[in-house]
Amino acid sequence: MTLPRSRIYALLMSAATAALLFSFVVYLIYAANLLSFPYDYDQGEGFELHDTVLYSRFQLPYGDTESYPFYGSIYPPLFHVMAAPFVWFFGPAYWYGRLLGFLGSLLSAAAIYYAVCRDGRGNRWIALLSALAFLSSNFVYHIGPLYRQHTMMVTFETLAVVVLAGAFPRRCKRGIAIGILFLICAGYTKQLAAFTALAAFAWMFLRQPGRALRCLLVFALAGAAVFLWLNIATDGQWWLQTIVANVNDIILDQAFGLLILWVKLHGLLLIPAALLIIYELYLDRLSLYSVWFVFSALLGSIAASKWGAGDSYFVTSIAAACILSGIFFSRILANDWRLPRQIGKTTMIKIANASLIIVPLLYLGYARATLKMPTAGAFAPLAAALGVEGNVREDFYDSATFFVGGYARIGYLLGADDRAAGDEITRLIVAADGPVLSEEAGFALAAGRDVVGNPAQLRNLHLAGRFDGSQLIEMIDGGEFGIIVLRAHFYPPPVLHAIARRYEQTHTIHMNGFDYMILHPKALDDGSARSVGNSG
């Protein structure tokens, strides 16, 4: 039974829609700002661009890190393969990878809309708010328009879950095959998709154990065939770079901090999601969305304790929460429950009537909890009206703030000074003789130089006892690098010690809120130091 929608419901829903649409507009502005920025924004973007460049040349990025150029990638190939054709037409550039990520987030939102519409009794308004709620999440906002593969993984995961949730109970073979294909695509975009695959097969097993096992067999055979091919083609480097190097230190405080932040920002959607799970567990059948949410939240939280992990590890669970809360709201508005007789119909009608006010208020509250916006320029009057001041930079407000370990320290808009700083670092690289060792690959790519080493990957391999680095240290000791660019000091300690011995800091350039240290070889007693780039 659908209750008549009162005017106050329509008014509040309109307000919630406007608030979440405003959040979407800020997301659009942020994406457009990033697309036009030609250097690294988030740490590691440049190395993903470099992976794409290698794929465009039909080379695999899983090389031997003991020899020049000491480069290995930690990520599976699919996202970079998708971006590779752009390199043929536009050369190495950030905009197309960022555009793919952004479009991926929109596709995830569309899948959420479709799922809530299909499984939430056709309530399109709630479905729209669920999709907008996903895009409004601070975590989604941060990583959506980055040159990172994570958003595309979430897109494939969401598509897989939405397709399987519809196809598996109907025994639609084509739908099941497409769903499994999306799962494989997610896994070969980023390893973290393993949690979604676990959830999907666990749910299929609950529904039809025999069919689930047959599907699992197909999935395992297809996934293993690609895995083996990559391992053979790279002479074992695929295993070393993507699996061994992925085992990292555990930082419990980081996981706790991110978990608390996840609850604080998304609590108003997490509670209805949890209520629907309890209802399904005891009074109905568990849906794939519920199992997906539990697996992604639980295992995502555990994985978020890993060094190098961050808020993005919760994005999958946010997609699941948006679908579950949307379905819960749709059903509560339609009073569509199968409840024990002890709970009278009158009670449920009262709850449904109250939900006409409560549901839009929850979305409004969520929009406020996830608010982020520029506070200067055209946004200044609105920021003043909302009572928010810049807390990230002077001109940007983020409700999540930056005080949690692992939280992406990004989200603000970039200005002309950031671009000028990037140009200056590139100019110094062009002016220097010899190869460049840079913690961000984008500068080397812009200067037309080799990308040498991926510091975080070398660190991981060093900690796993799989990187000796003697050849790299020998090159540093010999002053062979014309210039070194440091930001986060991610290189293994022996490499950093060698840099400190042989190089000296000549410039500090501020870009994106970070200080980039520019180092040149120290002058030796025999006066054989390499030329230092003109600092202008």
Binding residues (CB under 8 A) for other proteins: these are: 205-211, 250, 252, 281-282, 285-286, 298
Q: Which of 71, 262 has the CB closer to other proteins?
A: 262
Give the span between the Cα atoms of 183 and 175, in whole angstroms: 12
Asked whether the beta carbons of 105 and 140 are under 8 A apart, the reply is yes
| Vertex 88: Cα angle to 456 and 151 (nearest 5) | 45
Q: Which of 208, 399 has the CB closer to other proteins?
A: 208
Two tokens, residue 371: 């608010």
Strand order across the 483-486 sheet: 436-438, 483-486, 514-521, 503-511
Q: Which of 247, 298 has the CB closer to other proteins?
A: 298
Report which secondary-structure segment, H or E, holds 518: strand 514-521
In the complex, what is the shortest distance from the CB of residue 197 to other proteins, in angstroms, rounded to a whole number? 19
Tally the residues of the chain. 536
Torsion of CA 142, 144, 148, 151, to 10 degrees: 120
Q: For 320, how many CA atoms within 13 A lie in the half-sphere containing its CB?
A: 29
Q: Which of 284, 515 has the CB closer to other proteins?
A: 284
Q: Which of 105, 305 has the CB closer to other proteins?
A: 305
Which 8-state DSSP code applies to residue 414?
P
φ, ψ for residue 58, nearest 5 deg: 60, 35
Q: Which of 124, 207 has the CB closer to other proteins?
A: 207
In the complex, what is the shortest distance from the CB of residue 341 to other proteins, in angstroms, rounded to a whole number? 16
In the complex, what is the shortest distance from the CB of residue 285 to other proteins, in angstroms, rounded to a whole number? 5
In the complex, what is the shortest distance from the CB of residue 256 to other proteins, in angstroms, rounded to a whole number? 8
Report which secondary-structure segment, H or E, holds 18: helix 7-35
Two tokens, residue 402: 């930056």
In the complex, what is the shortest distance from the CB of residue 204 to other proteins, in angstroms, rounded to a whole number? 10
In the complex, what is the shortest distance from the CB of residue 298 to other proteins, in angstroms, rounded to a whole number? 8
* CA neighbor of 190 nearest in space, from 54, 27, 316: 316
Q: Which of 1, 252 has the CB closer to other proteins?
A: 252
The CA-atom distances, in angstroms, between 477 and each of 362, 465, 471, 527 are 60, 22, 10, 16
Asked whether the beta carbons of 390 and 243 are under 8 A apart, the reply is no
Q: Which of 208, 506 has the CB closer to other proteins?
A: 208
- Cβ neighbourhood burial of 302 (10 Å; 0-12, 13-18, 19+): middle
Q: How far is CA 312 from the centre of its chain?
A: 4
Cβ-based neighbours of 53, under 8 Å, separated by 6 or more: 87, 92, 445
For 358, the 3-state DSSP assignment is helix
Q: Which of 15, 198 has the CB closer to other proteins?
A: 198
In the complex, what is the shortest distance from the CB of residue 347 to other proteins, in angstroms, rounded to a whole number? 22
In the complex, what is the shortest distance from the CB of residue 177 to other proteins, in angstroms, rounded to a whole number? 17
Q: Which of 3, 202 has the CB closer to other proteins?
A: 202
For 374, the 3-state DSSP assignment is strand
In the complex, what is the shortest distance from the CB of residue 305 to other proteins, in angstroms, rounded to a whole number? 8
| Vertex 370: Cα angle to 413 and 123 (nearest 5) | 120
In the complex, what is the shortest distance from the CB of residue 252 to other proteins, in angstroms, rounded to a whole number? 6
